[in-house]
Amino acid sequence: MGVYKGKTGKSKKIDKLIHEPARLQIMAHLYVVESADFLFIMNQTGLTFGNLSSHMSKLEAAGYVKVVKGFVGKKPHTMLKLTEKGRKAFDGYRKSMKQVFEQLPEK
Amino acid sequence: MDEKINLKEIEKKSFKSFFGTGIHDIGFGILLLTIAIAPLIRESFGYWYIAVIIIPSPLVISLGMRYIGNARIGKVKFGVKRKSSAKMIKKITLVSTTLLIALVVLTFSGIFPGQIVTFLGGGAMFMLTIAIVVFVFMGVLAYIMDFSNLILYGLVIGIGITTAEILRGIIGAPLDSLLTFGILGSLLTIYGIINLSRFMKKYPKPEG
């Protein structure tokens, strides 16, 4: 995790798992909806199937995303949803980044 | 840019992707085409002609979205804000459908429209009032649903109703509605087909 100074002067960390651009996109898209399927996230983020799978595994392993596998008719169907932990982590990330930019000196 | 605005934009873009398929334009174009031929089919179907007008459009939209739209964009459940908008739309649809049924019953029972038409100052004025009401109604729905094409649909209906009324005095019925709604419906359907082909190109059918 990247380190920066918070408002109180204490060192704070930036969640690198979310900070990666592709995962940030995935998290942002899942944050604004209740749940979405694999295809929807693929289309919205422009990621390939393999790329999305790999990032999703990392987010799932961290407990940020819940992957619900099911069937629509005979076809397998995967729904993705941010967990409570994932939502909190994304909120924390937003606050951290905002603070980082606020601390930047004027040109 | 503020990150809150970005998230809003992401949500808006995701939501709007469902209306950019062209299927709604085609569905609405078909509705106008059925309105155009309504006076002709009325003779063969009797009062059931209303069903022939109402059924094809939602059928095309729902089947189109199921087998073309959702199959290519994917499925999504939106958040609380969209759900409350959907609930409001359901309430508005329920009230307007009840009013529409009441209007149809009153018209066929001979109570309506004579009195109201006279009150509004005759045929053209009455039709203009209906056109404005439809346009405002569609505008409100567009705002609630965040679907700006509904404004276009409202405008097209408004223009259609007033033009047909003006043309009735010149070329008579049923050519007035056949011509007006036929042209407007065809244009909207072509516009929808162009949008749909663009959409299908942008979102090819996923393999497997």
Whole-angstrom CA distances from B15 to A13, B33, B81, B158, B169 are: 33, 28, 12, 27, 44
Q: Which residue in A has a C-alpha nearest to residue B70's C-alpha? A: A40
Q: List CB contacts (< 8 A) between B17 and chain A.
A: 43-44
State whether B79 and A33 contact (CB < 8 Å). yes
Three-class SS state of A35: strand
Q: When comparing pLDDT for A91 and A1, which is higher? A: A91
Q: List CB contacts (< 8 A) between A43 and chain B.
A: 17, 72-74, 203
Across the interface, of B13, B14, B74, the residue whose CB is closest to A39 is: B74
Q: What's the confidence (pLDDT) of residue B191? A: 95
Residues B195-199 have a mean pLDDT of 94
Residue B70 in contact with partner chain A when CB distance is under 8 A: no
Q: What's the confidence (pLDDT) of residue B117? A: 56
Q: Which residue in B has a C-alpha nearest to residue A97's C-alpha? A: B3
ipTM of the complex: 0.76
pTM: 0.76
Q: Which residues in B115-142 are b (16+ Cβ under 10 Å) and which e?
A: eeeeebeeeeebbbbbbeebbeebeebb
Q: When comparing pLDDT for B69 and B10, which is higher? A: B69
Q: For a pLDDT cut of 90, what percent of chain A falls above it?
A: 50
Q: What's the confidence (pLDDT) of residue B171? A: 85
Q: Residue B121: which pLDDT band, with cuts at 50, 70 and 90? A: low
